Amino acid sequence: MTDPRGPLWRKNNNDHTCHWPGCDERVPARLWGCKRHWFTLPPRIREKIVKHYRRGQERSRDPSPEYIAAAKEAREWCLKHINGAENDSHN
C-alpha cells in the first residue's frame, strides 16, 4: 500500500553525510559526522560542537553563530589534518 506521506517522511528524515571532507558516510543529523571521523577531531573542537548544538537546528536550518564557527573550525582542522600539517602539532 502506498502511504502518501511516505516520500515526504523520507525526504525529511534528517540524516546527512559526515562533515569530514570527502567522507560520504550517512549519519543522523544531530551528529557532526561518522564515529571514526568524530573521534579524529581534537576534544577541544568536539566540545565546542556539542556545546553549541541546538536540538532541531538541522530542521530549522538555524544553527547558532557559535555552532557555525565551531563547524568551520572543525572543517579547517580536517583539511589541515588531511594535508598532514597536524603532524607537527604545536597547538
Task: Classify each residue of 46-85 as buried b or exposed e, where b means 16 or more C-beta atoms within 10 Å of its C-beta.
Answer: bebbeebbeeebbeeeebeeebeebbebbeebbeebeeee
31 binds Zn ion (CB under 5 A): no
19 binds Zn ion (CB under 5 A): no
48 binds Zn ion (CB under 5 A): no
Q: Considering only 8-16, 26-34, 60-68, 69-77, which stretch makes contact with Zn ion by CB under 5 A?
A: 26-34
Residue in 23, 29, 46, 86 binding Zn ion, rule: CB under 5 A: 23
The answer to whether residues 46 and 60 touch, using CB atoms and an 8 Å cutoff, is no
Beta carbon nearer to Zn ion, 3 or 29: 29
